[in-house]
Structures are given as structure tokens and as C-alpha cells.
Amino acid sequence: MCKDIADLADQWERASEELAFWKSKEAALRRDLFAAAFESPKEGTQYATLPNKTRLKAVQRYTREFSQADALEVSVRLSEEGYDPDTVFPLKAELKLSGLKALSDEARGMVESILTIKPSSVLLELLEDSENEQ
């Protein structure tokens, strides 16, 4: 049994290293292909015809970040102008795990009754002998 686990760990480690290499390679090629195919990229969906007559579809998105304080301030101003600020900054509740853990059992049960809890993907890391002590 232990040999099987060690073999699986070795295979997983090699696959992880290969995956990291190929992810990096794919990202670089995707960036280069996009730059070569679209001289004036824009946000949204765009198409280019490649020399072999294949069409390349690209979807360019941008991340827009803001502070909650700024959003609140602008929301008030939008409201004063007659706009519904929820159409720009919809309220999105987030679960703060440290806050959940700090609740009493009764209060935690109330919150957990509305949660759907599913395990996420497991993170693994192989440690050298000197790191195994932790």
C-alpha cells in the first residue's frame, strides 16, 4: 500500500510540474496569438481570419475593481441623480468564515441552514524531510 501511495505521489508531482510548464506555455502563446491577430484589440468578442482560412474568436474582458467606500459614495450620488445604484453596484453578500466561526452554536446553525457546503479541490504539496516536522 505505501509503495502505491509513493508511486502516486511521484506521478502527481511530475504531472503538476508538467501542468505548470504547459499552462505557462499556453498563456504565452495565447497572448502572442492575440497580439498578432488583432492590431487594435477591443473589449468584447472579436474575430480574425487566419491564413489557413480558420476563424479565430477572441473574447477580451477587463477586470474592474473598486473600494466599497467609493462604491457607496458614488451610489449615493447616483441615487441623488435619479439612477438606481443597484444597477451599477448590486449588493452581494459574502460569507466571512472567521465571522461564522465566532458565532454561538445556535447562531452558526441559523447561518449554516441557508448554506450549500461542498468540498473544493484539494491542494497538495510534497514537502522535503526537513519540512515534514510542521
Q: What is the pLDDT of residues 15-63, one digit of tens each?
A: 999 999 999 999 999 999 999 999 998 999 999 998 888 899 999 999 9
Count of alpha carbons within 13 Å of 74, Cβ hemisphere only?
Answer: 12
Torsion angles phi and psi, residue 96, rounded to 5 = -105, 105
Which is more confident, 109 or 130? 109
The per-residue pLDDT for 117 is: 87
Cα(121)–Cα(26) distance, rounded to whole angstroms?
22
SS3 60: strand
Residue 78's alpha-carbon distances to 50, 73, 75, 82, 92, in angstroms, are: 45, 9, 5, 6, 18
Residue 79 clears pLDDT 80, i.e. is over it: yes
The DSSP secondary structure of 94-105, one letter per residue, reads ---HHHHHHS-H
Cα(77)–Cα(70) distance, rounded to whole angstroms?
11
By the 8 A CB rule, do 74 and 94 touch? Answer: no
pLDDT category of residue 3 using cuts at 50, 70 and 90: confident
> Closest by alpha carbon to 111, among 86, 93, 90?
93
